[in-house]
């Protein structure tokens, strides 16, 4: 049985993890018989978005780990407590929490950085030849952590985000919504999901392929 850590960034597309992407990932892993550990950093969200109105909820405060626990049904590990030795692979799901909580991409543009504990996890997983998957906007984390390794990644075909990824030293590859990009040298798989998807079925197609390939690499 392969053991996979799924890394979350909160709960909700605009300030945390994209819920559909998370559930589709967990479902694909369950169908494949993988043992899953959900994990998230125990930090405050950058801000809270009212998902009904699409506005910032001024003065509201939420914790990324506590919010991510909503999706994982309370079964979740703080990122600092995640034992990489016990994992065969890692998958980062998308959502704007990647750009706001796991990195400062939303605020710093091409000068962005992943937060230290995320960057360290990705680099250590790479050094230990663990398979890694990055969904939707999450490939920006791989670019920030491993850009100097000339990794091949995709977020679909958005030219601005692709340029940001390449500014970190990574190589962007255009990819359709139901496709994946496999960098076998670095054991990394990426798929656009809701960077391109117009519905949940389109997102599912690429995520299923990503999970299959990550488990093969693991």
Cα–Cα dist 68/120, whole Å: 20
In the set 11, 38, 136, 175, the catalytic residue is 136
**Catalytic status, residue 38:** no
Cα–Cα dist 88/48, whole Å: 33
Cα–Cα dist 218/206, whole Å: 18
Decide if 84 contacts 210 (C-beta within 8 A).
Answer: no
Cα–Cα dist 158/110, whole Å: 14
**DSSP element (H, E) containing 205:** helix 200-217
Cα–Cα dist 109/113, whole Å: 9
Nearest to 2 by CA among 27, 31, 32: 32
Catalytic annotation, residues = 136
């Amino acid at each position: 049985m392969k053991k996979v850590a799924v890394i979350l960034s909160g709960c909700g597309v605009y300030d945390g993890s994209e819920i559909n992407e998370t559930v589709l990932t967990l479902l694909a892993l369950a169908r494949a018989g993988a043992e899953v550990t959900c994990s998230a950093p125990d930090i405050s969200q950058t801000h809270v978005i009212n998902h009904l109105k699409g506005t910032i909820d001024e003065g509201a405060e939420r914790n990324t780990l506590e919010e991510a626990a909503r999706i994982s049904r309370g079964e979740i590990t703080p990122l600092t407590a995640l034992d990489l030795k016990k994992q065969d692979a890692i998958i980062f799901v998308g959502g704007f929490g990647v750009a706001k909580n796991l990195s400062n991409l939303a605020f710093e543009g091409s000068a962005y950085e992943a937060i230290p504990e995320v960057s360290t996890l990705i680099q250590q997983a790479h050094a230990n030849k663990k398979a890694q998957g990055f969904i939707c906007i999450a490939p920006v984390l791989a670019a920030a952590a491993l850009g100097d390794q000339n990794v091949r990644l995709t977020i679909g075909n958005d030219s601005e985000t692709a340029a940001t990824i390449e500014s970190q030293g990574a190589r962007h590859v255009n990819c359709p919504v139901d496709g994946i990009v496999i960098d076998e040298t670095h054991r990394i798989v990426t798929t656009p999901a809701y960077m391109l998807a117009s519905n949940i079925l389109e997102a599912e197609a690429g995520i299923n392929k990503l999970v299959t390939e990550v488990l093969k690499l693991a």
